[in-house]
């Protein structure tokens, strides 16, 4: 799955912008850390695109239909 890194940067920036006023001097470092944490978490997930998911659903549906047909034939 393609990750939109610009969106990740925007999220990291939004998180950093929510810092209390006393921590604003840490904003840049925290923004980088937020981005690294988000990137690491997303990379650990086994994500697939919607198209890949839909294709597998279709394969599973066809397999289920074939299995049902074979069971009906076997029972006859």
- Quick: pLDDT tens for 43-63: 888 888 889 999 999 999 999
Backbone Cα Rg of the chain = 23
Distances (CA, A) of 64 to 52, 58, 68: 18, 10, 6
Q: How many angstroms separate the CA atoms of 50 and 42, rounded?
A: 16
H/E run at residue 21: none
Q: What is the pTM of this model?
A: 0.48
Burial class for 12, CB neighbours closer than 10 Å (0-12, 13-18, 19+) = buried
pLDDT tens sequence across 3-47: 777 888 888 888 888 888 777 778 778 888 888 888 888 888 888
The answer to whether the CB of 32 falls within 8 A of the CB of 9 is no
| Residue boundaries of the structural domains of the chain | 1-45, 48-76
């Amino acid at each position: 799955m393609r990750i939109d890194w610009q969106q990740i940067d925007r999220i990291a920036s939004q998180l950093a912008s929510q810092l209390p006023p006393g921590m604003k001097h840490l904003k840049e470092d925290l923004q980088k850390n937020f981005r690294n944490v988000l990137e690491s978490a997303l990379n650990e997930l086994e994500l697939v695109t919607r198209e890949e998911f839909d294709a597998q659903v279709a394969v599973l549906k066809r397999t289920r239909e074939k299995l049902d047909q074979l069971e009906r034939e076997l029972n006859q």
